[in-house]
Chain A
Amino acid sequence: MLILIILAFLVIAYLDAPKLWQKKYWRELAVMGIVWSLGLALSLALALNLPVPSPAKLLARVFGPVTEWLLRLIG
């Protein structure tokens, strides 16, 4: 699984990175690198069953009460 994930991310990197490097688009390369490494890190963490908090939980904590308030507002 881990190998497959790393392989997949290498393929993704190979799609665009060399071209960006050639064109000297450093900014693009940096942003892409960040997103890419975030993705890799998250995927690996999930594959290794590390406890990653779900953003849905965060949203639920903040906007759950908002929705509840809205529901109370209308009925």
Chain B
Amino acid sequence: MREEGYISPRQAAVLLWFAVLPTAILFLPALLALRAHQDAWLSVIVATLAAGAVALVVYLLAQRFPHHTLFQYCELILGPVTGKTVALIFVLAFFLLDAVVIREFSEFLVTAVMPETPALFFSLSIVAVAVYAARNGLEVIARCTDFILPLMVTFIAIVLLFATPEMAPRNLLPILENGFRPVLGGALVSWSFLGQIFILAAYGAFVNPPRALRASLISGLLGIAFFLSLVTMGTILVFGSCEAARLTFAAYALARVVSLGQFFERIEALFLAIWVGGVFIKITINLYVVALGLATVTGLKEYRPLVAPLGALNVAMATLLYRNISEIRHDLLLVEPGWTLTWQLILPLFLLVMAWLRGKRRTGI
């Protein structure tokens, strides 16, 4: 099915940032410090290179099938039956990803801010808003980012800048103490976040002009790498790698140490407000892609009626997925890397190879 809006390449890139960063800055630095110690920021850079492979695959597929979404060209490449099956796998994967994000969101708020409020309340309220936004289409979601992006960027900059008095450069040394292996281990973990730029394959069809997709992919990926490595580096610089690995929510802890003079401190409430905005975009864009994908697979004319039931199902799924935050961390460390590598790199790569072998391409609309 077709979506009636178009987004600019810049908006596509910014959406990519929002599709990765909000949960990544919160959970990833600590997990990286666990794996790669003081070289965590190197892991991010290595993972960025690896995520470049995803970007390349997404780009090549988009070149072959301009104006087609991932779910559409699955069918074009593999035929109706296999194509629909593969597309459905993608839909499920995005759906699960969204559920995980919702769960991470509510888990964080309950732990760090309002322990007396049931987690369900948080997931319900953010999904309600996300459903509303997703029903309005991609253009609206993209415009939401225009509002939240400056806030988010400014705030990350403020936190990092004002945390500098607490930073000790020596915390980053020695570089590559145990060689490259821990770095690669960390890269594997950060990969499962960075690989989420694959979402561009689903909404890249609506980028106008289509050939600007490369620019969006590159600036999207570089922006993510930039912010993520800065936050990771900041966390290690402030806390040291041992203590950073103990943190559950790195970026939040970073916001909490900011203290300028005696007046500019305790800004974590501000962090929270802005971060919730970021996660809202992340959940919305995923929900949108899930609804769009499901509508494409089942051959509907409209994706809108699916958004609200999918949202509801997502809330239930988020509640079901994990029993506690320890399971989330375990999954992020030991399951997600394999899973995301499979559906965000291997499967698309398979699509690309098949398209190339079968000589499938679609030019024009």
Contacts and interface: CB of A to CB of B under 8 A. Distances in A.
So, do A and B actually touch in the complex, CB under 8 Å? yes
Interface of A: 8-9, 12-13, 15-17, 19-20, 25, 27-29, 31-32, 35-36, 38-40, 42-43, 46, 52, 54-56, 59-60, 62-71, 74-75
A70 B338 contact: yes
Given A9-B312, A39-B312, A75 B302 contact: no
A43 B306 contact: no
B300 A28 contact: yes
The 8 A-B residue pairs with the shortest CB-CB distance, nearest first, are: A75-B181, A66-B338, A39-B313, A67-B338, A16-B305, A63-B338, A74-B184, A63-B339
A25 B320 CA distance: 32
B292 interface: no
Max chain B CB contacts within 10 Å: which of A32, A66, A69, A74? A32
B169 interface: no
Interface of B: 96, 181-182, 184-185, 188, 294-295, 298-302, 304-306, 308-310, 312-313, 315-317, 319-323, 327, 330-331, 334-339, 341-342
Given A27-B298, A63-B335, A43 B310 contact: no
A33 to B, nearest CB: 8
A16 B300 CA distance: 14
A63 to B, nearest CB: 4
Question: Among the interface residues B294, B301, B336, B338, which one has the most CB atoms of the partner chain A within 10 A?
Answer: B338
Contact of B188 (A55, A64, A71): A71
Given A35-B313, A36-B309, A67 B188 contact: yes
Contact of B320 (A40, A42, A63, A74): A42
A67 B334 contact: yes
B182 A46 contact: no
Given A31-B294, A55-B317, A56-B322, A66 B339 contact: yes
Contacts of A74: 181, 184-185, 188
A46 B316 contact: yes
B119 to A, nearest CB: 12
A68 B312 CA distance: 34
A53 to B, nearest CB: 9
Contacts of B185: 71, 74-75
Contact of A42 (B298, B308, B316, B323): B316
Contacts of A75: 181-182, 184-185
17 contacts: A16-B305, A17-B305, A31-B298, A31-B300, A39-B312, A42-B320, A54-B320, A55-B96, A60-B335, A63-B335, A64-B335, A64-B338, A66-B342, A67-B334, A67-B337, A70-B338, A75-B184
B286 to A, nearest CB: 15
Contacts of B299: 27
A42 B300 contact: no
Of B96, B316, B321, chain A has the most CB atoms within 10 Å of the CB of B316
Given A35-B313, A70-B188, A71-B337, 9 more contacts: A12-B309, A17-B305, A25-B305, A28-B301, A38-B313, A39-B309, A43-B315, A46-B319, A56-B331
Given A27-B299, A54-B322, A66-B339, A32 B182 contact: no
A6 to B, nearest CB: 12
Contacts of A8: 312
A30 to B, nearest CB: 8
Given A28-B300, A55-B96, A35 B331 contact: no
Contacts of B338: 63-70
Contacts of B295: 31
Contacts of A42: 313, 316-317, 320
A55 B181 CA distance: 31
A42 B320 CA distance: 9
B305 A67 contact: no
A25 B185 CA distance: 50
A74 B287 CA distance: 34
Nearest to A16: B305
Contacts of B309: 12-13, 32, 35-36, 39
A4 B240 CA distance: 47
